[in-house]
Amino acid sequence: MASTPAYRIADLFAARAKNIAPPTYGTELTKIITVSFAYGLADPTLFPHDDLAAASAEVLTKEAPTALNYGPPAAQLYEQIILRLQAQGITADRDRILIGYGSGQILGLLPDVFVEPGDVVIVEGPTFLGVVTRFVSAGAKIITIPVDELGMDVDALEATLIDLQKQGIRPRFIYTIPTFHNPTGVTMPLSRRQKLVALAAEYGVLVVEDDAYSDLRFRGETVPTLASLDKAGWVLYVSTFSKIIVPGVRLGWACGAPPIIERLAMFKSEGPVGPFISHVIARYCAAGKLDAHIQKLVASYQHKCDVMLEAIAHEFPSDVIALRPDGGFFVWCKLPADISAKTLLNASGEHGVTFLPGTRCYTNGEGDDAIRLAFSYQPTEKIVEGIATLGAVLRQLRQ
Amino acid sequence: MASTPAYRIADLFAARAKNIAPPTYGTELTKIITVSFAYGLADPTLFPHDDLAAASAEVLTKEAPTALNYGPPAAQLYEQIILRLQAQGITADRDRILIGYGSGQILGLLPDVFVEPGDVVIVEGPTFLGVVTRFVSAGAKIITIPVDELGMDVDALEATLIDLQKQGIRPRFIYTIPTFHNPTGVTMPLSRRQKLVALAAEYGVLVVEDDAYSDLRFRGETVPTLASLDKAGWVLYVSTFSKIIVPGVRLGWACGAPPIIERLAMFKSEGPVGPFISHVIARYCAAGKLDAHIQKLVASYQHKCDVMLEAIAHEFPSDVIALRPDGGFFVWCKLPADISAKTLLNASGEHGVTFLPGTRCYTNGEGDDAIRLAFSYQPTEKIVEGIATLGAVLRQLRQ
């Protein structure tokens, strides 16, 4: 027998796995510092733990044989999701719905279905990189359309689509967060939504509508979802229980054309979501307390948002422009030209205060002129304390 | 504006998504007929629903803020898994462990880390296709090593490795179920295990040890896991709570070299498993009742297995050879030359009895000479009824 060559496990890795990219979610959450405005975490003091305990106990008493074995998600969860979709003006049946481990899982499956290396994907700038990095990893060529105070600039989108068409390029999809946008908090008005949906049909491009926050509206009028305006099947709607019940159960859903749903399910390689958790959330929803719970969340998040905006008005230099959201989790602040978001983060981090620098909301290096502040997680006194610290650091940077 | 071309969503699909392959797990479970021996379903009458209810209630009372928010799996679950690994002779720390939505999810991630189209993957024949089809989909070239009554034929494996080395081919990994093999129920003895681990190191090939069933031993002596024999880091060990607690929570784990664990985590794109369910199972395990529960399962599955073997001895033609397992969920029957498994399935299906034909345990079309009968799910009276029906159909086919 020949002497054993010095084999290494690393030589077995596929090219795509040679280099390590850290997982997108969760790993950094263990090091929350004094006041973190960095993550879109739900407020744990608002979790409906008693009602979830009641739902869990009922499932384990009445539905254990089904809920604890292998099998599909609870039929009742599909029914509850269909009701939520109807409330958004979207007609659906089970064939149009995929339930996943959070909307993030479903959005992360999009490249499997739609992207070959070099294919064009259109995103907003700024956007939610937690999802967009998945498109980048899959080899998508990212084109960024600017977001202003009315959401994605659909005229710029149209110009891009025309330009791409001239080049013979058909983008795979447009990823948008039209309501309480992450990170800017802005909401796209009806006129832009109508144009966006019309452009999708005209150019044959899928629109992926990420709608994690729209139930958390605390002022202003409801605007129809893109999916409710879409008559031609070019919108894939994605939402989640993470913001309105709890994130820790990991349940989100997509609604769209059956050929898309079938293919997303095909690449969800571990099979359907766990029966147990699907039964628990279905029972919680069916108990009829969710609407009241959402109203409670809305009141709390509105208060936190207002506390943050008021603190910003008092503590930040007047040339920092804070956008006032009508809902969601985030306040976006545009910094004056002499302040860098990264520099601010380094300085405030030394005082125990963090946030998301705008650079982490773009794939193209932009964003050092803005920051995202999440008001969702911190108690109000911490919001006041953290904004005061940030204000002091901003003034120091100018000295 | 030019008239709109007739765009179709289907034109947006990546090549890998053009054709539909049904998801591997779960979808067929909704059409269970009179007596199904087809699936490795746990017995729902044995689910510890009261203890799970107690664990859920405690989590929701004491750990709701952590268990219901975003975040990593419960630290206590890692501790419990480390204890279970120690019981298998495997030393581990958290860096060597990935927790996934069932062992199926982790096994399904292997191609992302290891397989580029055309790479060689070695599997057993017969094997668990639920996982192996994922390797096929990723473009792996599958080489099948036969399984006899002592598990994988490691001499045949060695000959294959020598042959591949001559061709300059290094296989990516060897997928094996050495204990209570799925589908045959056989267990590989120590001598073959030692040779398999030595071959892995000698040829620089990863061994993926799928160990879903080893806690469910109802006779014979424990045999060391491959991972416990491996001193050089060439074994990735994979196991699950599905068979010893409940499948419906979807929790499994892998233990292996940190560079592999990091990469599997990287491709687990939805992030860590849900905190809630990880806290519930950790509390259930920590309450100290799991060992007693496993003893109860073992007694029940032993009884069911014996009932099935006895019924087979009475009802099947004497030239059907049933292998007698020492644990697990399955009895494997070799059919006489004049009986086709597919023909038998068609005939027995008309009488409401199903099983897994051997053809669904090979990627290469073999297996029409054998069937897998799962004794785990059906109550004993149904086992007797189903085997009697199968025996009658077998005799009819010979008339």
Could you tell me the residue ranges of all domains in chain B? 14-46+292-398, 49-286
- Partners of residue A113 in chain B, C-beta under 8 Å: 13-14, 17
Residue type, A194: Q
- Check B246 against A10: CB less than 8 A apart: no
A310 phi/psi in degrees, rounded to 5: -65, -45
Q: Suggest the residue from B4, B9, B174, B199 to mutate for an interface test with chain A (most A CBs closer than 10 A).
A: B9
* pLDDT for the residue B12: 87
The Cα A3–Cα A9 span in angstroms is: 18
Separation in Å, CA of B337 to nearest CA in chain A: 35
pLDDT tens digits, B10-34: 888 888 888 776 544 433 444 447 8
Is the bond preceding A183 in cis, omega lying within 30 degrees of 0? yes
Q: Suggest the residue from B77, B121, B269, B276 to mutate for an interface test with chain A (most A CBs closer than 10 A).
A: B269
- Partners of residue B113 in chain A, C-beta under 8 Å: 13-14, 17
- Check B49 against A69: CB less than 8 A apart: no
pLDDT tens digits, B44-92: 999 999 999 999 999 999 999 999 988 899 999 999 999 999 999 999 9
Question: pLDDT > 70: what percent of chain A?
Answer: 96
Average pLDDT score over residue span B167-180: 97
Give the residue from chain A lying closest to B262, CA to CA: A20
Point out the residue among B61, B69, B269 whose CB comes nearest to the CB of A247.
B69
List b or e across A117-130, with b for residues whose CB sees 16 or more CB atoms inside 10 angstroms.
Answer: eebbbbbbbbbbbb
Between A51 and B4, the more confident residue is: A51
Residue appearing with tokens 């920051």? A371
In the structure, how many helices (H) and strands (E) does chain A have?
13, 14
Average pLDDT score over residue span B359-376: 96
Give, in order, the Cα–Cα distances in Å from A12 to each of A9, A247, B256. Answer: 5, 36, 14
- Check B44 against A61: CB less than 8 A apart: no
* pLDDT for the residue A10: 86
Residue A259: both structure tokens together: 């050929």
In terms of Cα–Cα distance, which of B112, B259, B95 is closest to B172? B112
- Check A271 against B67: CB less than 8 A apart: no
pLDDT tens digits, B325-357: 999 999 999 999 999 999 999 999 999 999 999
Give, in order, the Cα–Cα distances in Å from A117 to each of A142, A200, B138. Answer: 11, 22, 16
* pLDDT for the residue A271: 86
pLDDT tens digits, A54-64: 999 999 999 99
pLDDT tens digits, A313-328: 999 999 999 999 999 9
Give the residue from chain B lying closest to A115, CA to CA: B14
- Check A248 against B71: CB less than 8 A apart: yes
- Partners of residue A64 in chain B, C-beta under 8 Å: 44, 47, 49, 52
* pLDDT for the residue B70: 87
The answer to whether A387 touches A36, Cβ cutoff 8 Å, is no
- Check B44 against A57: CB less than 8 A apart: no
The Cα A311–Cα A383 span in angstroms is: 8
Residue A160: both structure tokens together: 């891009």
Average pLDDT score over residue span B392-397: 96
* pLDDT for the residue B25: 40
Q: Suggest the residue from A120, A269, A293, A378 to mutate for an interface test with chain B (most B CBs closer than 10 A).
A: A269
Residue type, A139: G
Separation in Å, CA of B222 to nearest CA in chain A: 27
* pLDDT for the residue B24: 43
Q: Given its phi and psi angles, is residue A318 left (phi above 0), alpha (psi -120 to 50 degrees) or beta?
A: alpha
- Check B17 against A242: CB less than 8 A apart: no
Point out the residue among A16, A49, A201 whose CB comes nearest to the CB of B68.
A49
pLDDT tens digits, A187-231: 999 999 999 999 999 999 999 999 999 999 999 999 999 999 998
The Cα B38–Cα B83 span in angstroms is: 33
Give, in order, the Cα–Cα distances in Å from B4 to each of A44, A171, A195, A226, B95. Answer: 49, 16, 15, 20, 55
* pLDDT band, residue B165 (cuts 50/70/90): very high
The Cα A370–Cα A355 span in angstroms is: 11
**Architecture of the domain made up of A23-48+292-398:** Alpha-Beta Complex (3.90)
- Check B17 against A266: CB less than 8 A apart: yes
Strands B353-354 and B35-36, by their bridges, are: parallel
Give, in order, the Cα–Cα distances in Å from B103 to each of B16, B113, B212, B312. Answer: 24, 16, 8, 31
Residue appearing with tokens 């681990």? B197
pLDDT tens digits, A59-111: 999 999 999 988 899 999 999 999 999 999 999 999 999 999 999 999 999 99
- Check A270 against B202: CB less than 8 A apart: no
Average pLDDT, chain B: 93
pLDDT of A32 higher than 90: no
In words, the CATH class of domain B14-46+292-398 is: alpha beta
Average pLDDT score over residue span A233-253: 94
- Check B29 against A70: CB less than 8 A apart: yes
Q: Residue A304: in which H helix or E strand, if any? A: helix A290-315
Average pLDDT score over residue span A362-376: 96
Separation in Å, CA of A362 to nearest CA in chain B: 20
Residue type, A216: L
The Cα A168–Cα B293 span in angstroms is: 63
Residue A88: both structure tokens together: 């958004």
- Partners of residue B259 in chain A, C-beta under 8 Å: 9-10, 13
* pLDDT band, residue B187 (cuts 50/70/90): very high
Residue appearing with tokens 């007047």? A318
Exposed / middle / buried, residue A116 (Cβ in 10 Å: 0-12, 13-18, 19+): middle
* pLDDT band, residue A28 (cuts 50/70/90): very low
Between A211 and A11, the more confident residue is: A211
* pLDDT for the residue A24: 43
Q: Suggest the residue from B36, B39, B70, B376 to mutate for an interface test with chain A (most A CBs closer than 10 A).
A: B70
Point out the residue among B25, B39, B69 whose CB comes nearest to the CB of A42.
B69
Q: Kindly indicate whether the domain formed by B49-286 is annotated with CATH number 3.40.640.10.
A: yes
- Check B69 against A30: CB less than 8 A apart: no
- Partners of residue B250 in chain A, C-beta under 8 Å: 270, 273-274, 276
* pLDDT for the residue A29: 40
- Check B112 against A5: CB less than 8 A apart: no
ipTM of the complex: 0.85
The Cα B331–Cα B318 span in angstroms is: 16
Give the contacts of A5 (CB within 8 A, at least 6 positions apart).
Answer: B204
The DSSP line for B304-338 is: HHHHHHHHHHHHS-TTSEE---SBSSEEEEEPPTT
- Check A17 against B267: CB less than 8 A apart: yes
List b or e across B348-379, with b for residues whose CB sees 16 or more CB atoms inside 10 angstroms.
Answer: beebebbbbbbbbbbbeeebbbbbbbbbbbbe
A158 phi/psi in degrees, rounded to 5: -60, -45
Average pLDDT score over residue span B249-278: 92
- Check A64 against B45: CB less than 8 A apart: no
Average pLDDT score over residue span A17-40: 64
The answer to whether A139 touches B41, Cβ cutoff 8 Å, is no
* pLDDT for the residue A17: 83
Give the residue from chain B lying closest to A202, CA to CA: B4
- Whole-model pTM? 0.89
Residue type, B215: D
* pLDDT for the residue B16: 81
* pLDDT band, residue A277 (cuts 50/70/90): very high
